[in-house]
């Protein structure tokens, strides 16, 4: 049995609509994206930060592995 993070299941993507702060165009941002470029004016629109599994999952450190966990959490990497 292969373990896969449920957040990586492409069948569960969600889309949210945002309004471009520059030109007021409607912009789609999918749940796997942090930012997109407005097709009308080129402005970069950022998705609102929502808690990730790193914030609440007790297995997140094990799932990512120590090196990646340290990099994501801002601890840097001790790799030589």
- Calculate the average pLDDT of the chain: 79
Residue 40 or residue 64, greater confidence: 40
The distance from CA 7 to its chain's CA centroid, rounded to whole angstroms, is 10
Give exposure, 10-25, as e/b (b: 16+ Cβ within 10 Å): eeeeeeeebebeeeee
Across 63-80, average pLDDT: 69
- Asked if pLDDT for residue 68 goes beyond 80, the answer is yes
- Asked if pLDDT for residue 24 goes beyond 80, the answer is yes
* Contact of 79 with 67, CB cutoff 8 Å: yes
């Amino acid at each position: 049995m292969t373990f896969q993070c449920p957040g990586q299941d492409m069948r569960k993507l969600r889309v949210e609509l945002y309004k471009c702060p520059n030109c007021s165009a409607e912009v789609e941002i999918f749940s796997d994206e942090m930012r997109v470029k407005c097709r009308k004016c080129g402005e970069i629109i950022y998705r609102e930060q929502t808690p990730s599994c790193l914030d609440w999952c007790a297995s997140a450190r094990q799932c990512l592995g120590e090196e990646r966990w340290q990099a994501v959490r801002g601890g840097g990497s001790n790799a030589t």
